[in-house]
Amino acid sequence: MSNFADATSEKRFGVAETENSAAKLAELASAALDALKDGLVVLDAASHVVVWNRAAESISGYRREERIGRSCPEEFYQLASGHQESSGKREQSGEPKHGHFMTSAGCAPWLDAEAEKAHSMERAVLVEMCHARGHRVPAMLKRMVLRDEFGGRLGALLSFYPAEETDQLPHGETGGGVGVEQTQADMEDRLEEAFRAWETTQIPFGLMWITVDQAAQLRKTHGREASEAMLHAVEKTLLRGLRPVEILGRWGDNEFLVISHERTAELLIAHGQHLAGVGRTAEFRWWGDRIGLTLSIGVAQSGTDAGESLSTLLKQARKAMEASMFAGGNHVSRSHG
């Protein structure tokens, strides 16, 4: 009888010790999550919140006690203007036409691989989060699918931080984050969306107008095919110098535009100087001849150079680019009106 009692006591002690260890582990994990500066939200397979850390509370305005065990708030975030796909692309990918990912429908369990792929954003993208008080908060957000060892879906993880920190993002972290528009018409649509976003939400917005100093001469001496090959090489090189939230597009025959979100004109100029340096590394050969390339860049920033319209901002960026060309090329300028 004594041996049985001792065994029972040891078993109870072992269970209690295990429960105590699990509680300490949970407390440690919670403290670690709350120490993070980024907001972190974890959803289970039914898209119910199981983790909502302290930074998520601070950024979103929603308290943890209000969200644990529930779905995400209605319209928790949407892709920012200028970073949404065209309606045709959204229809093909199965995404909501209005750009919201986290409405009640968007929080539902993903039913197939294509839907999961459409909603997974493993690179940070610029979004507008809806704060608990109703106003919009520009933020950088990543969304990842969580899986078990057999590939089964366990849930999803969201991480986000305020967009005023976008100038701290490393250059060249492009992945799928940088938008690339191949036609001027598509780029015009992006420009209008970004300008409207600046007018309504004050998301920082600036332009870099870029021309290749050797483009006109190369087209004249080597022909259109060589010129197009050179522009393609420059585009690939520029992507190495852009941040995940930026959009690069062709403009005219020999030029590019970059939609950027640097906070100030000074930061935009510094970014342009970085791109000019990156441009000099472009490797371009034509029939065995290596042709050195340089860039003339003009920058213009919303709020300081925009005037009353997008057309004014474009004129200022073009004027600055021409000033860089007149300075001998391989230069970055900003127009002051």
Percentage of residues of the chain with pLDDT beyond 90: 27
pLDDT in tens, 255-267: 999 998 887 889 8
Counting Cα atoms < 13 Å in the Cβ hemisphere of 70 gives 11
Q: Where is pLDDT greater, at 65 or 119?
A: 65
98 confidence band (pLDDT: 50, 70, 90): very low
What local confidence, expressed as pLDDT, does residue 101 receive?
Answer: 34
Q: Is the pLDDT of residue 152 over 60?
A: yes
Counting Cα atoms < 13 Å in the Cβ hemisphere of 250 gives 16
Q: Do 37-168 and 179-334 have matching folds?
A: no
Average pLDDT over residues 130-145: 83
Q: Where is pLDDT greater, at 1 or 48?
A: 48
- For the record, the structure tokens of 311 come out as 């057309």
DSSP per position, 160-208: EEEGGGGGGSPTT--TTTSEEE-SHHHHHHHHHHHHHHHHHH----EEE
What local confidence, expressed as pLDDT, does residue 53 receive?
Answer: 94
What ranges do the domains of the chain cover? 37-168, 179-334
Give whichever of 28-32, 82-86, 147-151, 297-301 has the largest mean pLDDT. Answer: 297-301
175 confidence band (pLDDT: 50, 70, 90): very low
Q: Where is pLDDT greater, at 165 or 271?
A: 271
Average pLDDT over residues 196-201: 78
The CATH architecture one would assign to domain 37-168 is: 2-Layer Sandwich (3.30)
What local confidence, expressed as pLDDT, does residue 19 receive?
Answer: 67
What are the backbone dihedrals phi and psi of residue 152, each rounded to the nearest 5 degrees, phi first? Answer: -70, 145
DSSP per position, 44-111: ETTSBEEEE-HHHHHHH---HHHHTTSBPPTT-EEEPTTSSPPHHHHHHHT--TT-BSSSTTTTSPP-
89 confidence band (pLDDT: 50, 70, 90): very low
Helices 224-239 and 265-279 cross at an angle (nearest 10°) of 130
Average pLDDT over residues 14-28: 73
| Cα–Cα distance, 70 to 211 (Å, whole number) | 52
Sheet holding 77-79, edge to edge: 49-52, 39-44, 153-162, 136-147, 121-130, 77-79
Average pLDDT over residues 178-200: 79
Among 5-14, 228-237, 291-300, the least confident range: 5-14
99 confidence band (pLDDT: 50, 70, 90): very low
pTM: 0.57
297 confidence band (pLDDT: 50, 70, 90): very high
The CATH architecture one would assign to domain 179-334 is: 2-Layer Sandwich (3.30)
Mean of pLDDT over the chain: 77
What local confidence, expressed as pLDDT, does residue 10 receive?
Answer: 57
333 confidence band (pLDDT: 50, 70, 90): very high
What local confidence, expressed as pLDDT, does residue 314 receive?
Answer: 93
Q: Is the pLDDT of residue 307 over 50?
A: yes
